[in-house]
Each structure stands twice: as C-alpha cells, then as structure tokens.
Structure 1
C-alpha cells in the first residue's frame, strides 16, 4: 500500500513538474528573448520550484554542499538522473552544458538550453565527438559561466559503472580552466528511468577544485577517484551501498549504466 501511494504521488509530481515548465515558459520567454539574464532567471526559478515541490509532494528533500563556483570554470559532475541537473542549475549563476545536438529541437528545453549558452554536439566516433566538442566550445557565442560536463558521458545508475571519458581532459587542457568535481547520491532516490521516486535527502557536493596544469594521467585519476569515492560515501550515508554492484560489473569486464 505504501509503495502504491508513493508511486501515485510520484506520478502526480511528474505531471505537475512539466505543466509548471510550460506555464513558467509563458512568463519568462518573452523577457528572455530581449535579455539573456531572464533566461537564467527562468531556468533557475523553475529548478528551485522543482526542488521545493519534490520536498512536499514526494518527500524528496535536496541539499547542496561545498562552495558553489561563481567564476568561469568547468564543472565535472556525477550524473545519475534528471534531478542532478535540476539541482546544479538551481544554484550555479551561469550554468551551461555540452548537450546532444538533437536536444536543441526539444520544446522549451532546447530553446532555453541554447539561450543560456549550452553547446550542442553530434554524437559519433569518440575522436570526432571530441573535435566537434572543442570546436563548438571555441566557436560558440556563449557567455562566460560554468560549463557542466558529465565525465562518464551519460547517466549512470547509482550501483552501475562507466569509465571516465577523455573529453573532460581535452577541455581541461585546451581551455586552461579550473575543474570543480561534484559528487552525488541523487540516483538512489530519483532513478534514470521510471516514475517512482523515493523519499529521502538527495545531496550534491562541490569538492575542492583541480587547478590547471596537471598531467592527463594525474588529472583523470584524481577526478575519478574523488568523485566516485565521495559519491559512494553520500550513498552510504543515505542507506545504500553501491560497491558490490560496481565491483561485480568491473570483475565481469562489463560496464553498467
């Protein structure tokens, strides 16, 4: 009975979340056309609303820890579900993403993504994707801000594993910017797929920055070790232990999203 009630709450929450996206876009879009600052205000207001409504509708509270960067940096974040995007955008002053090129055509999300400076990239072979990514970053007219990168390349289940991709190192080296790692436990409450959302406390934590100048090997090892270790710690604090699932996937020579 408890599961069924929470599922219904989760469904109602999801429906109203998209209804509010449409309603807020009616107010903010005309203003955002005139001035980009209203695009930032719109996405930030919406994301804060989602966090607020999740707390009372489905019992999912959320918390940001660590120092939120205000300057132009690369943000290398753990990506487990749509909710971690919501949480990041709710606090970063000028967030932007490297996103799938097809998403630029998504209603509301696509237009706002382009307006705040997101970088669309066509997926393909890894080398081609990296070149396309760097060209888009260098040639784009996006304003300075916090470029959010998901080093694993996609959403990964809380007890799954995918290796970190070299694209984050290319950006780190070519832009000369500081990288701020971000850990999360969001996926244990809000999964990659499905309607059901668990109550609890979703946490994202900004970790100590990695300054420019590190070698590729040192940078990649430090980034993955810190983000994964801190994410595991957050998930354990929430009562979930992903280690057995991650180790099983690695031992079998497989990766799991």
Structure 2
C-alpha cells in the first residue's frame, strides 16, 4: 500500500509540475507572477501529499517571522521543505546552485524570480558574489532562504554546517530566522517512498543582527539542531504552534 500511494503521489506531482511549468509560461512576464505560481504549486503539492499519501505538513512558530527582510536558515532533510517554505514566506528568494538555472523550463522560472545562484566553479570568489547578490535582494525586502549545510542530510546525521552562513549574516545585517524540521522521516532524500505522518516545520525565535560571526555560527547550529532533534524525538522545540500554522489543505 505504501508503494502504491507513493507511486500515485509521484505521478501526480510530476504531472502537475509539468502542467504548471508549461501553462505558466505567460507568467514569466514578472517576478511577482512567478512567485504566485510557485506558491500555488507548493499548496497543490501539500494537498496531494495529504490526500494521496497521508502526509500533513504543520507549521509552527509563524509568529516568529519578522516583517521585512530576513535571512531564513533552515535544516535541510528533504525536498519537502523547499516546497513547503514558499507557501508561508512571501517575496522569497532562495540561495541555490547555478546548475539549476540550466534546467529546461524550471530554470527559466528560477532566473525570472531572481534567485541567488552560486557559481561553485569560481571557488572563494563565489562566496563574495553570493553575498553581494543576497545583499541586493535584501535591499528589496526579500525573505532570503538558505540551507546552511548546503545539501540534504539524513535525519539524525551529524551536522555539517558551512561557515558561509556566518559571512552572509555579517554582510546582510538583518535578523536570522532558524528553522527546525523533521521532514526527512516522511520524505527521505534519494527515495521515492513517502511515509504517512505529520511533517513539522518550526520557525524558532529570530537571532538579532550584530553578533560576532563565530558566536552566530555556534548559535545557529545549536538552535537548529536542538529543535530538529526534539522534533525527531517527538518533542516540540521552542516554537509554540501557531493558530494559523497548519498547512496541507487547498485554500478555500
């Protein structure tokens, strides 16, 4: 049954994605319309997960999201959080690898929505370029989303944070919003199986700007890891459930 439900979701997910990519081509006229399409795609995906697989996505701590520009630093366990976060963060900008811009159709939308693309072939210069592009996005009031570990990590794996997040924090001078989650238990990386249950994405209290880089780097790891480990163990981190924090249903 698990295999059949996962198969049904995967087929529906890729079909919906393809239809939106093709049908949404006229929306490439503006960044705002592309972001609206991305949020619609995210909400439809969460609905498919709930109906076909039995995965309910619960957001906690939405009251911790500050107004205006903010750096959102999230744990990265699966593709689920990359989809889910866009449904609750308006005017978002992801930091992603440049190779994604080369994907047919999908890359066009990423480029039009002004995502910050990292060219890893530039070595140490890539970090400076990323910081400048991110600062330009922040000047426009965007919500900058970054995965400090750079890649997906299995639930419970030892943390592997990159110090680049501390450089970015120092350059931007805005609050950093840590995000803990347990999504990898239900949507594992490199797996086609989707397991029923509740995926929790918890926004923790923001870290104010102005800390020393080393202090911030230790603090962001501590908060994200403690929050995520608590969720994996069944306990809630320091983020109370928001009365409007449940997702997984189509807006009505």
Fold shared per TM-score above 0.5: yes
String of CA shifts for 1:117-161, please: whole Å, max 9, x gaps. Answer: 211111257633312322433567995311101111111111212
Residue 66 of structure 1 is matched in structure 2 by 61
Residue 8 of structure 1 is matched in structure 2 by 4
CA distance in 1, matches of 2:131, 2:32: 25
Contact 1:10 1:195 survives alignment (8 Å) = yes
Q: What is the TM-score with the length of structure 2 in the denominator?
A: 0.86
SS in 2 for 1:87: helix
Residue 247 of structure 2 is matched in structure 1 by none
| Equivalent residue in structure 2 for 1:162, among 154, 159, 168 | 159
Residue 202 of structure 2 is matched in structure 1 by 205
Residue pairs, 1:112-151, within 5 angstroms = 112-124=109-121, 127-138=124-135, 143-151=140-148
TM-fit CA distance, 1:20: 0.5
| Equivalent residue in structure 1 for 2:229, among 229, 232, 242 | 232
| Equivalent residue in structure 2 for 1:92, among 89, 93, 105 | 89
TM-fit CA distance, 1:200: 0.2
| Equivalent residue in structure 2 for 1:76, among 73, 78, 83 | 73
TM-fit CA distance, 1:12: 1.8
Contact 1:81 1:190 survives alignment (8 Å) = yes
Residue 184 of structure 2 is matched in structure 1 by 187
TM-fit CA distance, 1:25: 2.7
Residue 40 of structure 1 is matched in structure 2 by 35
Aligned length: 233
State the superposition RMSD in angstroms.
Answer: 2.0
Residues 223 and 141 (structure 1), Cα distance of their counterparts in 2 relative to 1, 3 Å cut: closer
TM-fit CA distance, 1:109: 2.5
Contact 1:121 1:136 survives alignment (8 Å) = no
Structure 2 residue runs without a partner (length 5+)? 236-252
1:171 and 2:158 are equivalent in the alignment: no
Residues 145 and 136 (structure 1), Cα distance of their counterparts in 2 relative to 1, 3 Å cut: closer
TM-fit CA distance, 1:93: 0.5
CA distance in 2, matches of 1:36, 1:93: 12
CA distance in 2, matches of 1:160, 1:141: 31
Contact 2:9 2:53 survives alignment (8 Å) = yes
Structure 1 residue runs without a partner (length 5+)? 239-257
TM-fit CA distance, 1:208: 0.5
String of CA shifts for 1:53-103, please: whole Å, max 9, x gaps. Answer: 100101111011112444211000001110011110111101111111110
Contact 2:73 2:179 survives alignment (8 Å) = yes
SS in 2 for 1:7: helix
Higher relative contact order (CA 8 A, sep 6+): 2
Q: What is the TM-score with the length of structure 1 in the denominator?
A: 0.85
